[in-house]
């Protein structure tokens, strides 16, 4: 092991000496792989700051870290000594580094479990026993999967499954800055989109801080936002996630137009105008505002009316306007 590798962690007084992050990267010749969205944080102050954003972590808590890579955030988590740390990393090249970290953490009171695999297929229920204590989902997420992972987890939250069997779970995750802003965008903000509404129905998201792209190795094209999402104890609806997602997606598909335009594509052309007018009337929503001007509540009222329509007109449920053969209609919709 090179001499530099014997350096101790700057602030991790409890962790025994181990190679620095940079040494580890050199030692195992870890080059970032683009399709795995690998952008590493080598600055310990930043990794500490990300973990601090998660709030209090103590011995009774479990932390699941997504994509630990060479282990920068992992070290910051270990310094907080949670009872259990679960690491899920797709890239096999990081396994020796993570095993070494686990070995060095042995004197701590943290049980470390390492899983090599895809977080999108990871069965949290199987590997993370749920207790009344907190579960922190933390990760400097790979850009390529960050939105999908968030939507999957919001769906799990709506169904109280996976990591959300208890509501004592919080997520502290990184996103491309613009995506982070969209997740948190308030009513009337022109960044507001499907992701804002879906996140804000089931969680309260906070944009904690922004990390400039130059803080990463290699440097991505964009800056990065750290978002903490706290599940709402009282979600804003008990409508099924898929139904709400379908309605919100249709509304925001035509974000530059009146909100009635996108919503109307939920219905077959023959009844479209009538069903749309009735829906807006029943939901007491102004059909001429733009999608970004709709409150979460208004979106949910429209979703409730749509759910009733579906009950009475089952053919509406399976209607997919994009699947229609008529190319004139497709292009007229500007999609
Ligand atoms: N946590 C490290 C840091 O902050 O320096 C690395 C962050 S890097 C942006 C994303 C990490 O996620 C990489 O280690 C990458 O290999 C891993 N990764 C990519 N896709 C993944 C997936 N589907 N499941 C689990 N890990 C994944």
Among 119, 49, 115, 128, which residue's Cα sits nearest to residue 83? Answer: 128
Domain that residue 280 falls in: 241-318
Is there a domain that residue 324 lies in?
A: no
CATH number of the domain to which 281 belongs: 1.10.8.100
Tell whether 46 is covered by a domain: yes
Are 125 and 154 contacting, i.e. CB atoms less than 8 angstroms apart? no
Same domain, 60 and 88: yes
248 and 226 assigned to the same domain? no
Using DSSP bridges, classify how beta strands 169-176 and 224-231 pair: parallel, antiparallel or unpaired: antiparallel
Confidence (pLDDT) at 306: 97
Angle between helix 72-79 and 95-104 (nearest 10): 20
Last residue of a domain, one of 175, 200, 231: 231
Claim to verify: residue 100 and residue 222 sit in the same structural domain = yes
Higher-pLDDT residue of 199, 221: 199
d(CA 65, CA 101): 14
CA distance 130 to 113: 15
As a whole number of angstroms, the distance between CA 265 and CA 263 comes to 5
Q: In whole angstroms, how far apart are CA 204 and each of 23, 90, 279, 284?
A: 39, 29, 28, 25
Q: How far is Cα 174 from Cα 94, in angstroms, rounded to an integer? A: 20
Query: 204 and 286 share a domain?
Result: no
Residue with the two structure tokens 């959300």:
164
Total number of domains constituting the chain: 2
216 lines ligand 1 (CB under 6 A): no
Q: What is the CATH number of the domain that holds 68?
A: 3.40.50.150
d(CA 181, CA 171) in angstroms, rounded, equals 16
DSSP one-letter string for 24-44: HHHHTT----GGGT--EE--H
Which of the residue ranges 44-48, 153-157, 299-303, 316-320 would you say has the lowest mean pLDDT?
316-320
Q: Please answer whether residues 66 and 139 qualify as being in contact, where contact means their C-beta atoms are separated by less than 8 angstroms.
A: yes
103 within domain boundaries: yes
Q: Give Cβ neighbours of residue 74 (< 8 Å, ≥ 6 apart).
A: 65, 68, 85, 87, 98, 101
Residue 333 lies in a domain: no
Final residue of a structural domain among 188, 207, 231:
231
pLDDT class of 241 with cuts at 50, 70, 90: very high
* Residues 17 and 117 occupy one common structural domain: yes
Nearest CA to ligand 1 atom 16: 91
Residue 325 domain-assigned (yes or no)? no
Do residue 131 and residue 270 come from a single domain?
Answer: no
d(CA 34, CA 326): 39
Q: Does 294 reside within a domain?
A: yes
- CA of 216, closest atom in ligand 1: 5
The answer to whether position 329 is within a domain reads: no
23 & 136 share domain: yes
Are 142 and 39 in contact by the 8 Å Cβ rule? The answer is no
**From atom 20 of ligand 1, which residue's Cα is the shortest distance away?**
36
Q: Are strands 62-66 and 135-139 parallel, antiparallel or unpaired?
A: parallel
What is the distance between the alpha carbons of residues 56 and 80, in angstroms, rounded to a whole number? 9
In the structure, what pLDDT confidence band is assigned to residue 42 with cuts at 50, 70 and 90? confident
**253-304 pLDDT tens trace:** 998 899 999 999 999 998 899 999 999 999 999 999 999 999 999 999 999 9
The reported pLDDT for the residue numbered 324 is: 61
335, two tokens? 């999609």
- If you search the block for the tokens 């999967």, which residue do you land on? 145
Q: Is the CB of 119 under 6 A from ligand 1?
A: yes
Q: For residue 91, which atom of ligand 1 is closest to its CA?
A: 16
% the chain with pLDDT above 70: 87
Q: Are residues 118 and 188 in the same domain?
A: yes
Same-domain pairing of 126 and 247:
no
**42 Cα nearest atom in ligand 1:** 5
SS3 content of the chain, % helix, strand, coil (to 5): 45, 15, 40
Q: Are residues 220 and 281 in the same domain?
A: no
Note the pLDDT tens digit of each residue in 166-218: 989 999 999 999 999 999 999 999 999 999 999 999 999 999 999 999 998 88
As a dihedral over the C-alpha atoms of residue 66, residue 16, residue 21, residue 86, rounded to 10 degrees, the angle is -10
144 sits in which H/E element: helix 143-158
Q: Residues 305, 184: one domain?
A: no
- Specify burial of residue 13 (Cβ count, 10 A radius: 0-12, 13-18, 19+): exposed
Report how far ligand 1's centroid is from the alpha carbon of 176 (Å): 14
Is residue 123 domain-shared with residue 249, that is, in the same domain? no
Domain final position from 231, 261, 291: 231
Closest-CA residue, ligand 1 atom 11, reads 67
* Distance, CA of 244 to CA of 107 (rounded, Å): 48
């Amino acid at each position: 092991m090179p001499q530099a590798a014997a350096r101790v962690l700057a602030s991790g007084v409890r962790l025994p000496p181990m190679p620095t992050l940079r040494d580890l990267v050199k030692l195992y010749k870890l080059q970032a792989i683009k399709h795995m969205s690998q952008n590493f944080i080598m600055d310990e102050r930043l990794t500490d700051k990300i973990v601090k954003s998660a709030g209090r972590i103590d011995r009774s808590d479990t932390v699941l870290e997504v994509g630990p890579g060479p282990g920068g955030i992992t070290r910051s988590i270990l310094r907080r000594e949670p009872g259990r740390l679960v690491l899920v990393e797709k890239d096999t090249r990081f396994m020796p580094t993570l095993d070494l970290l686990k070995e060095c953490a042995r004197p701590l009171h943290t049980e470390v479990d390492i899983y090599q695999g895809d977080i999108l297929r990871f069965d949290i229920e199987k590997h993370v026993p749920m207790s009344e204590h907190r579960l922190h989902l933390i990760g400097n997420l790979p850009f390529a999967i960050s939105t999908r992972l968030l939507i999957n987890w919001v769906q799990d939250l709506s169904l109280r499954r996976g990591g959300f069997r208890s509501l004592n779970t919080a997520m502290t995750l990184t996103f491309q800055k613009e995506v982070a802003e969209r997740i948190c965008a308030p009513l009337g903000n022109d960044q507001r989109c499907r992701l804002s509404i879906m996140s804000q129905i089931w969680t309260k998201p906070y944009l904690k801080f922004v990390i400039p792209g130059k803080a990463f190795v290699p440097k991505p094209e964009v800056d990065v936002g750290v978002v903490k999402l706290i599940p709402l104890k009282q979600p804003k609806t008990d409508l099924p996630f898929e139904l709400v997602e379908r309605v919100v997606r249709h509304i925001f598909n035509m974000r530059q137009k009146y909100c009635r335009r996108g919503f109307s594509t939920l219905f077959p052309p023959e009844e479209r105008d009538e069903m749309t007018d009735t829906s807006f009337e029943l939901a007491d929503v102004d059909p001429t505002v733009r999608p970004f001007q709709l409150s979460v509540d208004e979106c949910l009222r429209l979703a409730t009316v749509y759910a009733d329509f579906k009950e009475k007109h089952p053919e509406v449920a399976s209607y997919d306007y994009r699947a229609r053969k008529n190319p004139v209609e497709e292009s007229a919709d500007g999609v």
